[in-house]
Every structure is written in structure tokens, then in C-alpha cells.
Amino acid sequence: LGEGLKVNAKLTTLDLEGNQICDKGAFRLGKALEVYTKLTKLVLGGNKIGDKGAIGLGEGLKVNASLTKLDLNKNKIGDAGAIGLGEGLKVNVSLTELSLYQNQVGDAGA
């Protein structure tokens, strides 16, 4: 899907909730966010995304200027992943909604 996003010119919402996406898949989606400029909503809740995947998504957020909503509810993201997402948020200008409930983020990642 990440590779397809790089060339698709119309998709604005991608809902992959409740699948088996792990770190590798999330990292690839993060790379796609770096070049795809149409996506406004990405729903990845209820998957198996951990810290490495969240860090990859954070890297994509650094460059992406179209995404307004990112749903990462009910995954396995801990402090390191939350920090990686935060790094992306420091420079992202478009994201208005980030959902992270039912993850494993503690005080260090808050």
C-alpha cells in the first residue's frame, strides 16, 4: 500500500483499522507520507504497531503537509514511539488530530 500511495493522485482517506500491521508496515507508510501529498486521514488503530513503526510515522510527519488526522489507537506504542511522533510534530504544519489511546505510553513519552 505504501508504494501505491506514492503514485496515487486521488486517495484522501486510508482506513486500515483492525489489521495485523506491525512496525515494518507502519515504517513503510511513514516513508509514503514523505512523498504523498493528498492523504488527509490515516486510520491505523487496532494494529500491532510498536515504537519502531511510530518512529517511522514520525519521520513521515516531518515532511508531510496534508495529513490532518492520524489514528493510532489500540496499538503497542511506548515512550520511544511517542517521542518519535513528537519529533515529527515539532515541524509538521498540518496535523490537527492525533489519537493514541490504549497504547503503552508512560510519563517519559507524554
Which residue segments constitute the domains of the chain, with CATH numbers given? 2-103 (3.80.10.10)
**Residue range 32-71, pLDDT digits in tens:** 999 988 999 999 999 999 999 999 999 999 999 999 999 9
Query: What count of other Cβ atoms lies within 10 Å of the Cβ of residue 8?
Result: 14
Rounded to two decimals, what is the model's pTM? 0.93
**Residue range 63-92, pLDDT digits in tens:** 999 999 999 999 999 999 999 999 999 999
- 106 CB burial (10 A radius; 0-12, 13-18, 19+): exposed
Dihedral, 70, 74, 76, 81 alpha carbons, nearest 10: 30
Closest C-alpha to 57, from 37, 84, 77: 84
